[in-house]
Amino acid sequence: NAGVTQTPKFRVLKTGQSMTLLCAQDMNHEYMYWYRQDPGMGLRLIHYSVGEGTTAKGEVPDGYNVSRLKKQNFLLGLESAAPSQTSVYFCASSLLAGAQETQYFGPGTRLLVL
Amino acid sequence: AQSVTQPDIHITVSEGASLELRCNYSYGATPYLFWYVQSPGQGLQLLLKYFSGDTLVQGIKGFEAEFKRSQSSFNLRKPSVHWSDAAEYFCAVGGISNDYKLSFGAGTTVTVRA
């Protein structure tokens, strides 16, 4: 049982390049989330999904797209990377909705956009 | 809108001493409150959560937190810190009025000196 895994762990991009971050969970969780973590700002929600085939915008969705084609995977895409997207990205999942539901986090992906 | 303030950016504490991390929240209804810990290079791990009942909540690793509605606070405490408690700690708030999405504070970094 690996929990939540993220691929890749680290990536360097040039401005304008595209990439996809992969999040996978093996806990059969319905909800999945993408956050970004920036110094002094905590975690901010980018997009989330309440189930396979569904996605919704979070607090800072601009410049990102997501897809949830399979229940266990949640992909975060950057179509044209910008230096402002340099950050650490965390994926999380929870069994159900409800604030009492614990979110389980992956180890993070560190992205540097030059 | 919901929000979380962690007034202390960085705290240094001696091993064996007590620790208290402050968290103040803003939320229009009954809040659900969480404390997460992030060790260097790792994802976030849930320490404890509150959503109803006893206002003193026990968590993992010897941590506890007290919910004080009158002060809009949810401070985290540990009676005697260990060197392994050096990490970044995040307070988060969520609830039914925001579709259970969490808002995180900016975090408090704890350094433990021998």
| Amino acid code (one letter) for A107 | P
Is A25 part of a structural domain of the chain?
Answer: yes
Among the listed residues A108, A25, A35, A87, the one whose alpha carbon sits nearest the alpha carbon of residue B43 = A108
> pLDDT band at B104, cuts 50/70/90?
very high
pLDDT 10s digits, B24-49: 998 877 788 999 999 988 889 999 99
Domain residue limits at A39: 4-95
pLDDT > 70: percent of chain B: 96
Q: What is the pLDDT of residue B98?
A: 66
Is A13 part of a structural domain of the chain?
Answer: yes
Q: What is the pLDDT of residue A42?
A: 85
> Which CATH number does the domain housing residue A83 bear?
2.60.40.10
Tell me which fold the domain B3-113 belongs to: Immunoglobulin-like (2.60.40)
Q: What is the mean pLDDT of each run of 10 residues along chain A (114 residues)?
A: 90 97 95 92 91 92 96 96 96 79 90 97
User: What Cα–Cα distance (Å) separates residue B32 from each residue in A42, B52, B74, B101, B102?
Assistant: 18, 8, 10, 10, 9
Q: What is the pLDDT of residue B34?
A: 94
B97–A contact, CB cutoff 8 A: no
Residue window 5-64, chain A: list those with CB within 8 Å of chain B: 35, 40-45, 48, 58
CA distance linking residue B49 with residue B45, whole number of Å: 12
DSSP B90-112: EEEEE-GGGTT--EE---EEEEE
Q: What is the pLDDT of residue A88?
A: 94
B53–A contact, CB cutoff 8 A: no
* Phi, psi of B98, rounded to the nearest 5 degrees: -120, 35
Q: What is the pLDDT of residue B75?
A: 98
Is A114 part of a structural domain of the chain?
Answer: no
Q: What is the count of structural domains for chain A? A: 1
Is A103 part of a structural domain of the chain?
Answer: no
